[in-house]
Chains A and B, each alone.
Chain A
Amino acid sequence: MIDFDVVTLSRLQFALTALYHFLFVPLTLGLSMFLLIMESVYVMTGRDIWKRMTQFWGVLFGINFAMGVATGITMEFQFGTNWAYYAHYVGDIFGAPLALEGLIAFFLESTFVGLFFFGWNKVSKITHLLITALVALGSSLSALWILIANGWMQHPVGAQFNYHTMRMELTSFSEVLFNPVAQAKFVHTIAAGYVMGSIFVLSISAWYLLRGRNVAIAKRSMAVAASFGLACSISVVVLGDESGYLDGEDQKMKVAAIEAEWTTEAPPASFTVFGFPDVRARVTHAAVKVPWLLGLIATRSIDRPVLGIDDLVARARSRIVAGIEAYSALQLLRASPDPPDAALLRRFQAHQADLGYALLLLRFTDDPAAATSKQIDAAAGSTVPNVPVLFWCFRLMVGLGLFFIALFATAFYLATRHRFERHPWFLKLAFFSLPLPWIAIEVGWIVAEYGRQPWAVDGVLPTFLGVSRTSVGNVWASLLGFVIFYSALAVVDAFLLVRTIRRGPDGLGFAS
């Protein structure tokens, strides 16, 4: 029934296109704030150098913005082309924030971005600043709606299955809107985008200072990046913890996998700083542990346990068994006339919260109602995500986050003393840090989304089931097309960015 080639290729395509899209979007978020800050200073002080800074960083923003927009449309289309059953099954809830993103955010951003570039001589200073502010507001609102949609996949609230329409339907829009996971993700992600923008500005400015070029612009840019970046890098780590806490409530399996916590420890659980998770033996070799820390982060208590993987698998198994009840009742409901037998309806309603768990069985059998004990075990085992990948990605992300705080703290100290030139080692460090925010943000995506597996929507719809029933040839064609097309675009984009940076404000006519 399920074509697993289509599943694998569609997942690969989604992951590659999302990771690629995510190279550009956080920088758009970050740089839009820089444009707004720099132009505000220009309008308030009337000093022309701040206008030229806005215009110079604006050129880089524009190149990156185009790539972000171009690759974003792919994400929207894919839900229909490759994830048709997903689109049908949860579109009643998931479609709304996507449509609202277009209506409220993307329209705003895209309509005003043209005037940002072409409106300098057409509108007053204040109006232009307002336009820049609307572009920045549009990008941030866009992130908010997308993360409300994504937050619902991580923690589906305000929805219920309707057996008439065979899909999830909205029961409370405010629950979807004020989903705590979505709010935490929004703040974490947007702060990460601001950190990326800050490191981008910091690194490139450091390069100019090392070369003794564009000193006036570079020093001011560095000062803005140091202060804004320090605030944002602290937020991203602190609010990242908040998102770990929420995961502790809703996605216990993700936390257990991130920590490679195979069995439940006596509370409060210790935090594994380092080690080598061994999936087969279900132990973590050479583990270096900090007592109490995980329990404190994940439960905010010293007495509640952080469930380990083995206990969570056992819990999934019992939900699968309950889900089979719901699944069997659903088949009878579909076959019976309307209105159905009240007892049958009650039987379905008693177990419908676990229906998604029965769907996990479709990977092992065409008829979950008649699943064997072995198949149930296999389905329960399939709820564990890839432990070593999550373990390492998470540690890489957190390590980079801590490094960014140190980097910005140093930059902030040097900026307040006007001492960048006397410390070329720092300028070099700042320059070579340029690729790091991309690494942090990509592994962060992997932790959040690969860690959600095997679910497309946690506890509701398994990823493999969400796929379109299209031919494998189609998916091969689009996947190869994307790889070739996106690789070519990446080369052109990198070439243009490097060329623009090398020419610099002086070469582009933005120097005084």
Chain B
Amino acid sequence: MSSAWLDYATLRVIWWLILGVLLIGFAISDGFDLGLGASFTFLGRTDAERRALLSSVEPVWEGNQVWFVLGGGCAFAAWPLLYATAFSGLYLAMFLVLVALILRPVGFTFRGKLAHRRWRTAWDIALTLGGGMPALLLGIGFANLFLGVPFEFDRMQRPIVTGSFFNLLHPFALLGGVISFSMLVMHGNAYAALKVGEPMASRARTVAQFASAVFLAAFLGAGIWVSSTLAGYEVTSAMDHAGPSDPTHKTVAVVAGAWLDNFHTWPWMWAAPVCAVLGAVGAHLLLRLQRPGAAFMASALVQAGTILTGGFALFPFLLPSSTRPDQSLTVWDASSSAKTLLIMLAAALVFLPVIIAYTAWVFRILRGRVTLENIEDHGGGY
């Protein structure tokens, strides 16, 4: 099925990149409404202010969240072993993410339907959790990829997962949570600074600047940790990049500092962490200079830089196993068949540009700030 110009190994690398593109798409688009959700009760003190903040994301958050759903679907189709082991290995964390993601659609739709103060306060809490919990948990989950997840395979290739929720609370994982939380809060507040009227915009600028400083400290801290004492994984046997997807035929060593190997081999990869750092500094300064549009773009750069930094460090690992490192999942032994990868690639090449085009059109129609004056038009929700 795989032709000469698109062999199995290349397809695997392409699908690793597509997974990255979907994650970045998720962080840049859904990231701002998650970050805004996590902080809107702080930015908006009165109900009208909160309504203005929510109105700025209300028409678009639903589409944004599909980046996440699509990321899940593509992980299932292209990396079924990853989907199986990561989701069952991080069982309770995934359950909590799920609860948070369920709170959002109902929160956005139900909040405005009643004018009761307690009704609205209850949904404000739900929306705050719905934004904040994924922002925190997804970073904790991502950092766990660096630590490895406890799983191994039996003779029928059934993944056996032995982790509990508390495995997730390793200090490095918590640092990952701080990185993602501050990153998305910065992004959401840069968006609010751009899209919402005063006085919320000034508060958002302050929050975004603070969050960018926290992000910088946490990101650099994680970098120092990874380059010094944190154990990384490296493949020590030759691997057939076009072989069948069976993750039990290689040897893997666990060595401190190994997560930086790729950056030594391919120095151009340093561009990713540099983008993250420069983006965060840039977002901070641009907000100070009252240039929210440019600050939002800088913040988007942080999302891409951070995710790429993680991906580059891990490559070719998708999910290292802490109990049986030799059975870790890598790009070369955990994908779908070449046929499925090729068909899905064709579909992605056709439909991703279409999605980006109509999403851009929707954002263009909704351009302009939401101010306290113009929300009264459809205030009350109905």
Besides A110-B63, A165-B246, A170-B337, 6 more A-B contacts (Cβ < 8 Å) are: A73-B102, A76-B76, A80-B83, A95-B336, A110-B62, A115-B59
Please give the distance in Å from B26's CB to the nearest CB on chain A: 12
* Chain A count of residues within 8 A CB distance of the other chain: 77
28 A-B residue pairings within 8 Å (CB atoms): A70-B101, A70-B103, A70-B105, A73-B101, A80-B72, A84-B87, A87-B76, A87-B87, A88-B84, A91-B76, A91-B80, A99-B77, A100-B344, A102-B69, A106-B70, A107-B66, A107-B351, A110-B62, A111-B66, A112-B63, A114-B60, A114-B61, A117-B59, A122-B366, A162-B244, A169-B336, A170-B336, A170-B337
Count contacts on B: residues with CB < 8 A to the other chain.
71
- Cβ contact within 8 Å between B77 and A95: yes
Which residues in A have their C-beta under 8 angstroms from that of B70?
A: 99, 102-103, 106-107
The CA-CA distance from A134 to B306 in the complex, in Å, is 35
A84 in contact with B59 (CB, 8 Å)? no
Interface stretch (choices A242-250, A346-354, A370-378, A464-472): A464-472
**Chain B residue at minimal CB-CB distance from A485:** B99
Contact (Cβ within 8 A) A114 B92? no
CA distance A74 to B66 in the complex (A): 14
Alpha-carbon gap, A59 to B382, bound state (A): 7
A119 within 8 A of B: yes
Kindly state whether residue A167 has any CB partner on chain B within 8 Å: yes
Residue B94 CB within 8 A of the other chain: yes
B150-158, B213-221, B257-265, B310-318: which lies at the interface: B150-158
| Cβ of B74 under 8 Å from chain A | yes
List the interface of chain B (C-beta within 8 A of A).
58-63, 65-66, 69-70, 72-74, 76-78, 80-81, 83-88, 91-92, 94-95, 98-99, 101-106, 108-110, 113-114, 155-161, 164, 244-246, 336-337, 339-340, 343-344, 347-348, 351-352, 355, 358-359, 362, 365-366, 377-378, 382
- Say yes or no: A77-B98 contact (C-beta < 8 A), given A91-B77, A111-B62, A170-B340: yes
> In the complex the two chains form, what is the Cα distance from A429 to B164 in whole Å?
54
A126 nearest CB across to chain B (Å): 14
A9 at interface (Cβ–Cβ under 8 A)? no
A contact residues around B69 at 8 Å (CB):
73, 76, 102, 106
Q: Please tell me which stretch of A61-69, A194-202, A227-235, A314-322 contacts chain B, meaning at least 4 of its Cβ atoms lie within 8 angstroms of it.
A: A61-69
For the complex, give the distance between the alpha carbons of A474 and B94 in Å: 11
Residue of A nearest to B355 (CB): A107
Bound-state Cα–Cα, A87 to B91, Å: 14
B155 contacts across to A, CB distance below 8 A: 331, 334
- The answer to whether A87 and B347 touch (CB under 8 A), given A93-B340, A103-B352, A111-B362, is no
Is chain B's binding surface mostly helix, strand, loop or mixed?
A: helix
Check A98 for interface membership: any CB of B closer than 8 A. Answer: yes
Q: Which residues on the B side are within 8 Å of A76 (C-beta)? A: 69, 72-73, 76
The CA-CA distance from A111 to B70 in the complex, in Å, is: 13
Asked if residues B73 and A99 are in contact (CB atoms below 8 Å), the reply is: yes
Q: Which residues of B contact A106 (CB under 8 A)?
A: 66, 69-70
Which residues of A sit under 8 angstroms from B105, Cβ to Cβ? Answer: 65-67, 69-70
CA of A95 to CA of B76, assembled, Å: 5
A binding-site residues for B, Cβ under 8 Å: 59, 62-63, 65-67, 69-71, 73-74, 76-77, 79-82, 84-85, 87-88, 91-96, 98-104, 106-108, 110-115, 117-119, 121-123, 162, 164-167, 169-171, 173, 331, 334, 468-471, 474, 477-478, 481, 485, 489, 492-493, 496, 499-500, 508-509
**Closest-CB distance, A303 to chain B (whole angstroms):** 41
A74 to B65, CA, bound (A): 14
User: Which residues of chain A are near B348, meaning CB under 8 Å?
Assistant: 103
Q: Which of A118, A469, A500 contacts B59 (CB 8 A)?
A: A118
Residues of A within 8 A of B95 (CB): 81, 477-478, 481
Set of chain B residues within 8 Å of A69, measured between Cβ atoms: 62, 105
Q: Is the CB of B92 within 8 A of A115?
A: no
**What's the Cα separation between A67 and B58 when bound, in Å?**
16
Pick from B81, B83, B246: contact of A164, CB under 8 Å: B246
The contact of B336 among A91, A113, A468, A493, by CB within 8 Å, is: A91
Q: Are B80 and A95 in contact (CB under 8 A)?
A: yes
Q: Which residues in B have their C-beta under 8 angstroms from that of A91?
A: 76-77, 80-81, 83-84, 336
Chain B residue with Cβ nearest A362: B156
The 3 closest A-B pairs by CB, nearest first: A91-B80, A80-B87, A114-B59
Give, as a whole number of angstroms, the nearest-CB distance from A137 to chain B: 12
- Which of A94, A102, A115, A492 lies in contact with B362, CB distance below 8 A? A115
Chain A residue nearest in CB terms to B158: A85
Once the chains bind, are A66 and B336 in contact (CB under 8 Å)? no
Closest chain-A Cβ to B100's Cβ sits at a distance in Å of 10
Tell me, in angstroms, the Cα distance from A173 to B337 when the chains sit together. 12
